[in-house]
A = this chain, B = another copy of it.
């Protein structure tokens, strides 16, 4: 159960005279044990099962630090205006689908975004540095459930 994120965090901490505390370890391990895109609250709730003295502000501070270090990313989805989700994925640019019904986030990749960027640059004279794509809809699982619920017997 060794985590790439944990190792990277240690390295970054060492490089800047930071300290690897029990809380940071717990938060990082919790985050990398989840393959979802959890909110700070979700990380907090799960981590607290192992250390009930952990405080939400520590979770925020740690997530924010990880973000600044470029080790995780934070994202907002349209239907959750207030609440950020944290993305521990270590591969670089990728895109997201969010299920309107179960709120699951699925990552995907496509080369077409590069084409979109190039087209826009050509058109506008702008220089594009990054891009975000979020698709919304109903995931396969939820479609199945909905279908099952619609069938009489």
Contact assessment for A99 and B116 in the assembled complex, using a CB-CB cutoff below 8 Å: no
* Whole-angstrom distance between the Cβ of A134 and the nearest chain B Cβ: 5
Contact assessment for B133 and A138 in the assembled complex, using a CB-CB cutoff below 8 Å: no
In the complex, residue of chain B having the shortest beta-carbon distance to the beta carbon of A144: B125
Contact assessment for B132 and A133 in the assembled complex, using a CB-CB cutoff below 8 Å: yes
Total copies of the chain: 2
Interface footprint category on A: 35 or more
In the complex, residue of chain B having the shortest beta-carbon distance to the beta carbon of A123: B108
Q: Which of A3-11, A16-24, A44-52, A76-84 contacts B (4 or more CB under 8 A)?
A: A76-84
The 8 Å CB contact of A136, one of B100, B125, B129, B134, is B129
The 5 closest A-B pairs by CB, nearest first: A125-B140, A128-B137, A129-B137, A131-B135, A126-B139
